[in-house]
Amino acid sequence: MTESEQTHLQTQAASHEGMLGKQNEDRFAVTPFLTGGTEQIHSVLAVVCDGIGGHRAGEVAAEMGISIITKDITTGDSDQPLKTMEQAIIRASDAIYKASQADLGRSGMGATCACTWVIGDRLYTANLGDSRIYLLRGSHLVQLTTDHTWVQEALDAGLISDKDLMDHPNAHVIRRYLGSLKAPEPDFRMWVFEEESVEEALSNQGLILQPGDMLMLCSDGLTDLVSDVEIRKVLQDSPLAQAPDTLIDIANQRGGHDNITVVVLKVPKKRKKAAGKIRKRRLLIGCLVVFAIISIVITGLILGTRLRRERLDEVITPSPTLTLTLPEEVPSAAVSRTSSPSFSLSATPEPTAESISPLVSRTPWPTNTVDQ
């Protein structure tokens, strides 16, 4: 594990003792860190513990639960997240139980636990007791966890109805918690869709989160007084920085009879700016490629033209000078009356003053060589 000052999720949390002057026995922690070997993956661990036992013992149990679970998971094996979470929760429960036995003032202390571990974009959850985990996707809010209370078990068994839940005397009798004599069984069921089987709920572990998804962990001080519909509306309509405080204020306005803790995690939406920068970068690269191609073509044309000109210069020589050669004077006896001076075209270059044709005399041509 490598600690990270930055998280790939947006987070906000708040906790309040409520309106009855009770000691705040809720504890929470949000820890960003990097997992994996050479390939580092961003992770976020969020844990909420609600202490039970009274006389400040619940506060101690919640603090121990947060500390041990956070340490064990962030230093554990991220390749086996469920096993790592299970071992951390059982070790925390055992430590709390031993501490309660060592001090009579802390006898019977314990704590609930709601734990989310996001590795990259995958979600893993575990819970004990009645602290809950919710997922908001779009406009749909779903409670991912099941309360481990007497009334919930009675409801699942069909012994009571929904309307009996809030006012039932056993509403807050916890059936699973940190610090129990027998090692508790962490609940890894993740209820995402309606009418799922237990096997299907377990198979939802590793759920891929989507941009805009929100996770909320909370203690029962919130859910006792604020409905799921109200939670959904606040998470949808409020800025993330205000959502936990807004939910706590609603609970306190309705009596705030217990400690209230709310932790919210949000998967950032894809930034338009970042997408715009990518498009601009691609456009720039495309322009540079086109410019380079055009430059190569133009350079090729220029070089080709020059090469053709050089070849033409080598092939083409200056045109020969056409000269008219008049015969020199020949002896009159050799000239017939019908003969006339002969003319010939020569393709040879015009002789210079120093050159003498071997076929002609040096004597100039007479003006009266032809008989009348």
| Strands of 214-218's sheet in order across | 10-16, 260-266, 214-218, 132-137, 140-143
Residues 211 and 280 in one domain: no
In a domain, 339, yes or no: no
pLDDT of residue 341: 44
* Nearest-5° Cα angle at 322, 320 to 324: 150
Q: How far apart are CA 299 and CA 150, in angstroms?
A: 85
Residues 80 and 206 in one domain: yes
pLDDT of residue 337: 41
Q: What is the pTM of this model?
A: 0.73
pLDDT of residue 277: 63
pLDDT of residue 184: 96
Domain of residue 12: give its range. Answer: 2-269
Point out the residues of the chain with pLDDT beneath 70: 1-5, 37-38, 271-279, 310-372
pLDDT of residue 285: 83
pLDDT of residue 361: 38
Residue 94 CA, chain-centre distance (Å), reads 39
Residue 32 makes CB contacts below 8 A (sequence gap 6+) with: 3, 4, 5, 6, 7, 8, 9, 42, 43, 44
pLDDT of residue 364: 46
Residues 27 and 112 in one domain: yes
Q: How many residues would you count in the chain?
A: 372
In a domain, 164, yes or no: yes
Q: How far apart are CA 218 and CA 28, in angstroms?
A: 9
Residues 14 and 82 in one domain: yes
Q: How far apart are CA 26 and CA 168, in angstroms?
A: 23
Residues 27 and 172 in one domain: yes
pLDDT of residue 4: 60
CATH of the domain at 234: 3.60.40.10
Residues 73 and 165 in one domain: yes
Residues 284 and 152 in one domain: no
First to last CA, the chain: 129
pLDDT of residue 307: 73
Residues 127 and 209 in one domain: yes
Residues 295 and 224 in one domain: no
Q: How far apart are CA 50 and CA 27, in angstroms?
A: 6
In a domain, 78, yes or no: yes
pLDDT of residue 120: 96
Q: How far apart are CA 10 and CA 14, in angstroms?
A: 14
In a domain, 327, yes or no: no
**Element holding 288 (H helix, E strand):** helix 272-315
pLDDT of residue 228: 97
Say if CB 120 and CB 72 are below 8 A apart. no
Residues 297 and 197 in one domain: no
Report which DSSP code applies to 186: -
Give 310-370 as a DSSP string.
HHHHHH--PPPPPEEEPPPP--GGG--TT-----EEE-SPPP-TT---TTS-SSPPPTT-S
Residues 62 and 128 in one domain: yes
Q: Output the six-digit token pair for 257.
A: 């009879």
Q: Number of structural domains, the chain? A: 2
pLDDT of residue 172: 83
